[in-house]
Structure formats: structure tokens, C-alpha cells
Amino acid sequence: MSDGRSRPASSFQSAPSTDSLNDILETTAQQDDELEAALRAIGRDWSRLGARLKLLDHAVNTSCPRLSVRLHYPTLRDAAATVHELVAVATRYLARFCLPHSELQNLYARKDQLSVEDLHEALTDLDRRARDLFIRAGAATGRSGEAGELLLYLLTEWVLQAPQIVAKMSLKTSVAMPVHGSDGIHARYDPENGHLLVYSGEAKLHSDLGDAIRSAISSISSALQPEKLEHELNLVRRDLSLSGLDERARAEMLCFLDPLEPSSLKRIDAVTCLIGFDFGGYDGLSPDDAESVFESRAREQLDRSASAFAKAMRTAGLENRTVELFLMPLPSVEQLRASFQSRIGNAT
């Protein structure tokens, strides 16, 4: 029975029909498929890198459920690591790493309008600018680990199939807005669970593995602080138009970055990390069985290193964070660094 008093109209809307919900889900799934395809489109086939870097076939489990550990090493020839060739190949991709994807896209879109000479000059200029950025970034940040940053970029693109969406090398040399922190920002869409993984990169080259792990954990802890994550995401928002993604894909990705959007709960803020270190396992190899002997030594090192890294993650309270760790044992970190600096014209 009515009490005779008027009541305000309800501010709540009726629940959408089943058909409406299905339409929403179908639209969302289509947008997610488009984002996955768009990210794949700005990537490339990196399988040729297998001639220079080999993945050690060895599964490893750790006490950190979201830590993945892989070991890559320079391929062997005549019982020696081909570090020089690795550096030579890696530096071919300086422009892809240093410069916004859109800048390369714009040049390739015009290539049919350019003469052979003009195209060659334009490509040479891109490479020159990339080398200059590396040298200036090293001076600006007081670091000489950019060889590790380039290798991490290649592994993230190749192994994780996560293309770079923000090229930070040019930002590191900006006087108006110097950028420190992670070495690059990559993204990958996981269609199985609808997650967008946004990767910050940290590369560490140290002669001593223990020093490398401590430095990596410190950087990862810092990178995953809320204020640092906010800064990284702001860079993505600001520079996403330079990523090479089309407008629809950019809009979909921005939903994952918007705290008012439900999609933001499906974003995973992850870290990729390269640790390069001196490894005695290259010593005393024979051409007859170099690879099998080396890989036996490397498996033992991988088990120890993965355990030590996981322990350090737990101590730092990072055991539930998503980390993709790439271990790279080297005959000499200093040899790699010197070879790289010489290759880009910055030998001292």
C-alpha cells in the first residue's frame, strides 16, 4: 500500500540485458584482438639473432612464482665466444632502439619516392643520429652500460615478442627533460587472460655476478615504486603517438593506463632485466666438444644464479612481481663494453 508520499525517480539504471552484455563482451574481445594485432605489426621477425645468441635449454624453478629465468650466451666458434660478431650484429639495430618507431615508419613509407642515393643518405643519417645518442646518453648519465641496454632491447623484442613503445634514449639526453630510470618501455598483450604487460627494462653489466644481482634488485625495487611507475606510464601516454600503433590501438592501450577504466586492473607492470657477468666456463674448451662442455657448466651456473636472484627478490619483497630475467655469461664484460664503444665510435 502506498503511503501517499511522492518518491524521487531512482538514479540507478536497470541492468543491461543479456544481449547487451554479450555485445559489450564481443566488442571488448574485438578491441583486444586489434590491440594484439597492432602490437604484433610494429614488431618484426628477430629469429636471425639465433646465429649470434643461443638459448640454453634448461628449465629452472625458483621460489618466486612470477620470475622467469633464461640464459643466453654468445654462440661458439672454434671453442671461443663470438662476442665481436654479437656486437657487430647488435649495433645494426641502434636506430630501431634509439629512435621513435614512427620516425622509421615515415622514412620507409617514402622510400619509393626517394632515389637510391637519397634513401641511402637518409638511412645513414638515422644510424649516425642513433650512435650520437648512445655516446651523449653515456656522458649524460655517467654510465657505459648501453651495450647491455641494446642487448636487452633485442631479447625483449625477440624472446618476449614485446615491441618497444617508448624509445627513451633520446629522452636521456634531453636538457629540458632528462629521463633516468628504466632503459626502455615495451608492451605485450596476453590474449589468454586479457592482460596487457608493460615492461620496464633494467640492464646490468658487472664483472662480478653478486654485484650485478644487487644492482639489479635495487633498480627493480625502485622501478616498481608507485611514483616511478606513474612517471613511466606518463611517458607512455605522452609519446604513444610515436610508437607506430594506429589510432584505435592507442586508444585501447590508453584504457589500460587509465585508473578510471576497468581495463587498468588487467595491466601488469613488469620488469625485464639483463645481467651480464664474467664467467669462467669459457676457459679450457676444446673445439671437439666445446658446446656440450660449456652448456654443462652453464646449467650449473643457471641453477645457482636463479636461486640467488630469487632469494634477493624475496628479501626485497618482490616475490610476487613479474620479472623476466635474462642471464648472459660472458668471457669478459669489459671486453664486450670496449668492443661496443669502439663499434659506435666512442673508443677511449
Which tens digits make up the pLDDT trace of 106-138? 888 898 899 999 999 999 999 988 888 878 776
- At 166-186, the pLDDT tens digits run 988 766 554 444 445 566 899
49 within some domain: yes
Task: Read off the pLDDT band of 143 (50, 70, 90).
Answer: low
Q: Containing H/E element for 339?
A: helix 333-343
Q: Give domain status of residue 99, yes or no.
A: yes
Dihedral Cα 207, 68, 187, 41, nearest 10 deg: 100
Identify the domain containing residue 242 by its residue range.
Answer: 30-343
Q: Is residue 20 part of a domain?
A: no
Kindly report, residue by residue over 219-231, the tens digit of the pLDDT: 999 999 999 999 9
Q: How confident is the model at residue 24 (pLDDT cuts 50, 70, 90)?
A: very low
Q: Is residue 12 very low, low, confident or very high in pLDDT (cuts 50, 70, 90)?
A: very low
Strands 80-81 and 76-77: antiparallel
Banded pLDDT at 11 (limits 50, 70, 90)? very low
Residue 9 has a pLDDT of 45
Number of domains in the chain: 1
Report the mean per-residue pLDDT for the chain.
88
Look up cell 620516425; give the residue: 103
For position 181, what pLDDT does the model report?
55
What pLDDT sits at residue 5? 44
* Residues 82-114 pLDDT 10s: 999 999 999 999 999 988 888 888 888 898 899
Return the C-alpha cell found at 78: 672454434
In a domain, 68, yes or no: yes
Inside any domain, residue 174: yes
What's the average model confidence in pLDDT over 33-39? 92
Do the beta carbons of residue 58 and residue 37 sit within 8 Å?
A: no
DSSP per position, 273-328: EEEEEE-GGGTT--TTTHHHHHHHHHHHHHHHHHHHHHHHHHHTT-TTS-EEEEEE
What Rg, from alpha-carbon coordinates, does the chain have? Answer: 23
Decide if 12 is inside a domain: no
Q: Is 204 helix (H, G, I), strand (E, B) or coil?
A: strand
Residue 111 located in a structural domain: yes
Candidate from 72-81, 164-173, 200-209, 297-306 with smallest mean pLDDT: 164-173
Are 268 and 322 within 8 A, CB to CB? yes
- Residue 139 lies inside a defined structural domain of this protein: yes
